[in-house]
Amino acid sequence: MLVKSAEFVCSNTEVSKLPESNLPEYAFIGRSNVGKSSLINAMTNKKGLAKTSQKPGKTQLINHFIINDNWYLVDLPGYGFAQTSKKNRAEWSKFIRHYLTRRENLQCVFVLIDSRHEPQKIDLDFCCWLGEKGLPFMLAFTKADKQSGVKSDQNVAKFKKALLSWFEEVPPHFVTSAEKKTGTEEILLAIHDINQN
Ligand code: GDP
């Protein structure tokens, strides 16, 4: 899918104030610093669209972007950052869970996982929670340029194997690099396919 236009729509902290749910919507989520902003910018070919930062846990907003005037890309706040209180974490959780379970035009959640690491409990727990809620999701492994393809493939295989303890079938996955712009076209194609159905 060619991204002809990508525009920021709004930032929200309240589900009740989100834009009208008249277009299909795709949410991107993952641990802080996983490379979410970089991946969104690479997918949309717009460097400053989602803000990239070195400081984990900065974005605490639901950010809506409209792509090609016909679907929403949603940048959700990162989870699992260390420099925050338990109270903040609980707030994060409530607000995001609320969004994910109430947004009726949400078609798919892209869970971003750092391809450099062995499976992390926080990511697995989040995938299980999505599964329990019956929310469709796909996996996007990030920063694949940072190590060999073999290493990335090993970590992907381990993550999928871990998921098989909870799921009969594991969801589709993408191996991406925002740096090298790989895997982005595949994600856009998956979104295009869902939009067509
Ligand atoms: P976010 O907190 O998940 O939005 O993460 P960012 O997109 O801000 O990225 C966090 C850090 O990882 C930044 O220093 C990025 O430059 C770096 N980064 C993100 N994606 C990639 C990638 O694909 N390859 C490499 N080498 N670095 C990346």
- The answer to whether residue 52 sits within a structural domain is yes
* 32 Cβ closer than 6 Å to some ligand 1 atom: yes
Q: Collect all residues with Cβ–Cβ distance below 8 Å to 130 and sequence separation of at least 6.
A: 100, 109, 111, 137
Which residue range is the domain that position 60 belongs to?
6-196
Instruction: For residue 103, count other CB atoms closer than 10 A to its CB.
Output: 18
- The answer to whether residue 1 sits within a structural domain is no
Q: Ligand 1, atom 13: nearest CA belongs to which residue?
A: 54
- The answer to whether residue 67 sits within a structural domain is yes
Residue 129: which CATH number? 3.40.50.300
Complex ipTM:
0.99
Q: Ligand 1, atom 8: nearest CA belongs to which residue?
A: 52
Q: Collect all residues with Cβ–Cβ distance below 8 Å to 186 and sequence separation of at least 6.
A: 174
Tokens of 11: 């930032």
**How many angstroms from the chain centroid is the CA of residue 141?**
10
Residue to substitute in 36, 47, 51, 52 for testing ligand 1 pocket (most ligand atoms within 8 angstroms of CB):
52
Instruction: For residue 157, count other CB atoms closer than 10 A to its CB.
Output: 11
- The answer to whether residue 24 sits within a structural domain is yes
- pLDDT at residue 82 is higher than 90: no
The angle, 0 to 180 degrees and rounded to 10, between the axes of the packed helices 36-44 and 184-196 is 70
How far apart (Å, rounded) are the C-alpha atoms in residues 58 and 107? 26
Element (H, E) at 67: strand 62-67
Q: How many domains does the chain have?
A: 1
- The answer to whether residue 59 sits within a structural domain is yes
pLDDT tens for each residue of 18-61 = 999 999 999 999 998 999 999 999 999 998 898 765 455 455 78
- The answer to whether residue 142 sits within a structural domain is yes
Least confident of 52-56, 71-75, 148-152: 52-56
pTM: predicted TM-score of the whole model, two decimal places: 0.94
